[in-house]
Chains A and B, each alone.
Chain A
Amino acid sequence: MISLVLRRGALSLVTLFLLASFIFFATEVLPGDALDVSLSADEIAMMPPEVLARRRAELGLDRPILERYTSFLGGLLRFDLGRTIITRAPVADIVAMPLRNSVALAGLTLLLALPVALAIAMAAAQAKGRLLDNAVSGAAIIGYSIPEFVTGLLLIAVFAVWWPLFPATITASTDDPLSVLLAAAPLAVATTIIGSIAYLGRILRVGLIEVMAADFVERLHLSGIPRWRILWLHALPAAMIPGLSAAALYAASLVSGVVVVELVFAYPGIGAELVRAVTRREVHVVQAIALAAAVCVVLFNLAADLGIVALDPRTRRS
């Protein structure tokens, strides 16, 4: 058991190392260096070559690529994400609070969406092939065909413009306590939850239907135990396993969804920071946001994996 946990942990570390390398090489190496991409062609043409060379040296861009790569990795080990190119501000300071806000939004979404998705999936699985099940499947396919920004705008149109119950955009600021921030963002939370329920509900329904077709369910059925009882007491715990792996797989999509929803509602999270950083070509900020998101997803996956191991004795063998 302990060796299994250690092995999963080590694999996550390998994944993170590969990710960090990928992020570094994709952003810094291939087409010129960070200075080229942060300045426009005109600006570079205007600058005297010696000024350009001095700025390169300041930023450490004149060093060979492998040296920069090792110092990038070394910085990561010390939780040093570098400084921005233009203002020389520490990247960690820029990313920290927005990251906290985004993680809170994603966490609250999962916390609220999982039980609802599970309840819907159970109702659908119990009525497999009948009207309710078909309605749920239809709603789910519509739900995940609509992009988050469209759902968000529809909610704004209905609940902020035509029937002004909530504010359209969020007025809370980046450093507000999470309770204030999340309370100011009911429509943003609703948007991410709707997408999550559509995705998770669909996968959980399939998981439950698969479990309900298993031999042990057949046996319980033959012993005269009613179907709802089998579903609640026997199939549900077994379906938690596909549920957990669905949630783990969903984590990365959830982050993408959160990024978009944040921009719709002006929620102060990594989404706005990311767009600002990409358009200004702040390479280090993009790297930091990508890494931070990847670390969250990998950690969440690890937790879900270990949860599955704890629930499912079969995974402990071998």
Chain B
Amino acid sequence: MTALLRRPAALLGLLLVATHLVVAISAPWIAPFAPTSLLDAPLEPPNATYWLGTDDLGRDAFSRLLWGGRVAMLVAFAAGAVAVLGGALLGLFAAHRRGSFDDVLMRLVEMKLAVPTILFVAIFVTGFGQSVPVLIVAVGIIQMMGVVRTTRAAGIVLMEQGYVRAAQLNGESGATIILRELLPNVADLMAVEFALRASSALLLVSALSFLGLGISPPTPDWGLMVEDGMALLESEPALVLAPALCIATLVLGINLAAEGLSDALGLDAARGGGG
């Protein structure tokens, strides 16, 4: 942790993420207006009452901005958790078991690499409908495939270690070896993966919301706000630029923290998260 705090870029990243988290959590108390209430004053320019003005329906843009990261962050962090936990267990199981299970899993991972993420979620949304749980599962599964690859690779190296051999000779069960010997040794990797997956999940969710395939209105959401405000770019640029800036700074924050974390832990993070 101290190694992480000594890196200025990582520190900046952590600060950005912390700020966004604090704002998102405290939005119900600090937002001047309810994010969905129609204030009967559409398209007000930014002023003392409405700091960022109001949108075409007369909702306070600043309040919506404070609320706008909540659902996206929930989906991104939940999907990141699904991806890292599921991916690590699958990857380590494949590393331990090898054989045909491993082969099939690797085929699936390769198959996923051929489906653009947005299309993958679009398929799920077509089949299962558009809702937050569907988004979490769909985004989580896509992100999981990358985690399977890295944890499997790490697991295969660990399987050759003396202590794993010793545990095997002791007659420990597969589950014990995976949970007690392998899993703790990929904890660093999982922490970095969690940050990388959460950041690309956030990019994906915002893009989906922007397309109208992600979080549904009237939920206040940055991606939706950008989409709504696009037509008003000329007259009320704040309606678009403020939520756009929020998405960018949050993703940047997570990425900087992830990069710092992986540097501090001596891992190789020079892999793309992949949008």
A-B interaction: yes
Given the complex, which residues of A lie within 8 Å of B255, measured CB to CB? 141, 144-145
Q: Which of B208-239 contact A (CB under 8 A)?
A: 210-213, 223, 226, 230, 233-234, 237
Interface membership of chain A positions 198-238, coded 1 if the CB is closer than 8 angstroms to chain B and 0 otherwise: 01001100100000000000000000000000000000000
A18 to B210, Cβ gap below 8 A?
A: no
Say how far A44's CB is from chain B's closest CB, in angstroms. Answer: 15
B122 in complex: contacting residue of A290, A294, A298, CB < 8 Å: A290
Binds A, one of B20-28, B30-38, B44-52, B104-112: B104-112
Given the complex, which residues of B lie within 8 Å of A275, measured CB to CB? 211-213
Q: How far is the CA of A36 from the CA of B257 in the complex (A)?
A: 45
Closest to B115 in A: A294
B237 in complex: contacting residue of A18, A23, A157, CB < 8 Å: A157
Known: A147-B251, A289-B119. Contact between A27 and B127, CB under 8 A?
A: yes
B114 to A298, Cβ gap below 8 A?
A: yes
B116 to A256, Cβ gap below 8 A?
A: yes
Determine whether B123 belongs to the interface, using a CB cutoff of 8 Å to chain A.
Answer: yes
Given the complex, which residues of B lie within 8 Å of A168, measured CB to CB? 233
Known: A27-B123, A161-B234, A274-B122. Contact between A253 and B270, CB under 8 A?
A: no
Closest to A22 in B: B111
A199 in complex: contacting residue of B114, B116, B204, B272, CB < 8 Å: B272
Q: Which of A137-182 contact B (CB under 8 A)?
A: 138, 141-142, 144-150, 153-154, 156-157, 161, 168
Known: A260-B211, A263-B211, A286-B122. Contact between A145 and B115, CB under 8 A?
A: no
A26 to B127, Cβ gap below 8 A?
A: yes
Given the complex, which residues of A lie within 8 Å of B107, measured CB to CB? 14-15, 18
Residue with the greatest number of chain B CB neighbours at <10 A, chosen from A150, A253, A260, A298: A150
Q: How far is the CA of A260 from the CA of B127 in the complex (A)?
A: 21
A141 to B256, Cβ gap below 8 A?
A: yes
B207 to A148, Cβ gap below 8 A?
A: yes
Q: How far is the CA of A30 from the CA of B151 in the complex (A)?
A: 30
Given the complex, which residues of A lie within 8 Å of B237, measured CB to CB? 157, 161
Determine whether B113 belongs to the interface, using a CB cutoff of 8 Å to chain A.
Answer: yes
Determine whether B143 belongs to the interface, using a CB cutoff of 8 Å to chain A.
Answer: no
Given the complex, which residues of A lie within 8 Å of B212, measured CB to CB? 275, 279
Closest to A146 in B: B248
B272 in complex: contacting residue of A147, A154, A203, A255, CB < 8 Å: A203
Given the complex, which residues of A lie within 8 Å of B120, measured CB to CB? 290
Residue with the greatest number of chain B CB neighbours at <10 A, chosen from A142, A147, A154, A257: A147
Q: How far is the CA of A91 from the CA of B99 in the complex (A)?
A: 41
Given the complex, which residues of A lie within 8 Å of B259, measured CB to CB? 141
Determine whether A283 belongs to the interface, using a CB cutoff of 8 Å to chain B.
Answer: yes
Given the complex, which residues of B lie within 8 Å of A19, measured CB to CB? 111, 114-115
Residue with the greatest number of chain A CB neighbours at <10 A, chosen from B108, B116, B213: B116
B274 to A249, Cβ gap below 8 A?
A: yes
Given the complex, which residues of B lie within 8 Å of A202, measured CB to CB? 270, 272
Residue with the greatest number of chain A CB neighbours at <10 A, chosen from B119, B223, B230, B255: B119
A255 to B119, Cβ gap below 8 A?
A: yes
B114 in complex: contacting residue of A15, A145, A274, A289, CB < 8 Å: A15
Given the complex, which residues of A lie within 8 Å of B58, measured CB to CB? none
Interface membership of chain B positions 103-143, coded 1 if the CB is closer than 8 angstroms to chain A and 0 otherwise: 00001101101111111101111111100000000000000
Determine whether B199 belongs to the interface, using a CB cutoff of 8 Å to chain A.
Answer: yes
B230 to A147, Cβ gap below 8 A?
A: no
The 3 closest A-B pairs by CB, nearest first: A145-B252, A255-B116, A256-B116
Would you list 27 pairs from A and B whose C-beta atoms are within 8 A, ordered by A residue? A15-B110, A19-B111, A23-B123, A26-B123, A28-B127, A144-B273, A145-B199, A145-B203, A145-B248, A147-B248, A148-B207, A150-B244, A153-B230, A249-B272, A253-B116, A253-B274, A256-B204, A263-B210, A263-B211, A275-B211, A277-B126, A279-B213, A281-B126, A286-B122, A286-B123, A289-B119, A301-B113
Contacts A275-B213, A290-B123 known; list 13 others, CB within 8 Å: A15-B107, A18-B108, A146-B247, A147-B207, A147-B275, A149-B207, A206-B270, A256-B116, A256-B119, A259-B116, A259-B118, A274-B118, A301-B114
Which residues on B are within 8 Å of A, measured CB to CB? Answer: 9, 107-108, 110-111, 113-120, 122-129, 199, 203-204, 206-207, 210-213, 223, 226, 230, 233-234, 237, 240-241, 244, 247-248, 251-252, 255-256, 259, 270-275
